[in-house]
Amino acid sequence: MRKLMTVWIGALLLAGCATPQERAAAAQAEMERMMVVYGPACSRLGYPSSSDSWRNCVPQLSARDDLERYGYPHYDGALGRSHWSLGGYWGPYW
């Protein structure tokens, strides 16, 4: 039973691994998605399409949107905005 469990866990771990080609394809797909979503906004901001400034604008708008949506990343409740800040460490309901 223990041997079967070890094989099963090993198979799951190997299934989660991605080759460099798969990671590159995923990054390319993400960039293409960002170009579709944020490319028109960068063009309306005055950046010529397919220029270096336009290519810099696309990930910047994506990052700005992510920060507005998810907030600033932090690992300590004392740094930045935190969901604990309304009522002390345990929140407003304690």
Query: Distance between CA 68 and CA 60 in Å, rounded?
Result: 12
Task: Give pLDDT, residue 40.
Answer: 93
The enclosing H or E element of 66 equals: helix 52-70
The enclosing H or E element of 27 equals: helix 20-44
Mean pLDDT of 80-91: 52
In Å, how far are 10, 14, 22, 33, 52 from 18, measured between CA atoms? 15, 9, 6, 20, 30
Query: Phi first, then psi: what are they for 37, rounded to 5°?
Result: -75, -50
Q: Is residue 44 predicted with pLDDT exceeding 90?
A: yes
Task: Give pLDDT, residue 54.
Answer: 92
Q: Is residue 9 predicted with pLDDT exceeding 80?
A: no
Angle at alpha carbon of residue 63, lines to 65 and 34, rounded to 5°: 85
Tokens in use for 16?
A: 């989660």
Report pTM: 0.56
Lowest-pLDDT range of 4-18, 19-33, 61-75, 77-91: 77-91
